[in-house]
Amino acid sequence: MKRIKIDRNKCIGCLTCTSACIVSHDSEETRSRVVIDSSGKYAPIFCRHCEKPECVFTCMTGAMHKDKETGYVLYDSKRCASCYMCIMACPYGVLKADQRTKKEIMKCDMCISTKEGTPQCVKKCPMTAITLEEVKE
């Protein structure tokens, strides 16, 4: 399975990753975000697509589910009951309610809906601080 890796030493906080995500998803809100860590450096935070995702286990409707082929944790807004259990269950705090709709959940989907299949944050990072790496589960 592939995961997004961030080298915080290379990140300059340009927010290109956030812009790439917004454009990729054609939305006013972003599915990833950037925070300032304890050392004062900018650091984007993305869904970790956990091996045993708490968000999936707590989702009563199946809106959060783990794709068996890719291993990615995906979200189906049509099945979502907007209970926010997934948000509360995520140990990394990466899931957020969409502030526009107040009903949907925002999370990294690894840009699976794009033609290229490569996360746009990885592709567009000018400092190559964000990479896509194979990890063993």
Could you read off the pLDDT of 73-108 as tens digits, one per residue?
A: 999 999 999 999 999 999 998 888 887 777 889 888
Domains, the chain: 1-46+109-132 (3.30.70.20), 47-107 (3.30.70.20)
Q: Residue 38 half-sphere exposure, CB side, CA atoms within 13 Å?
A: 0
Which among 46, 42, 47 has a CA at the least distance from the CA of 9? 42
Mean pLDDT of the chain: 85
Question: Can you give the pTM of this predicted structure?
Answer: 0.81
For residue 27, give Cα distances in angstroms to 46, 51, 96, 107: 17, 28, 15, 13
Instruction: Write down the pLDDT at residue 41.
Output: 67
**18-32, 47-61, 87-101, 115-129: range with highest mean pLDDT:** 47-61
Q: Give residue for tokens 């690894």.
A: 110
Q: Given phi > 0 = left and psi -120 to 50 = alpha, else beta, which region is 107?
A: beta
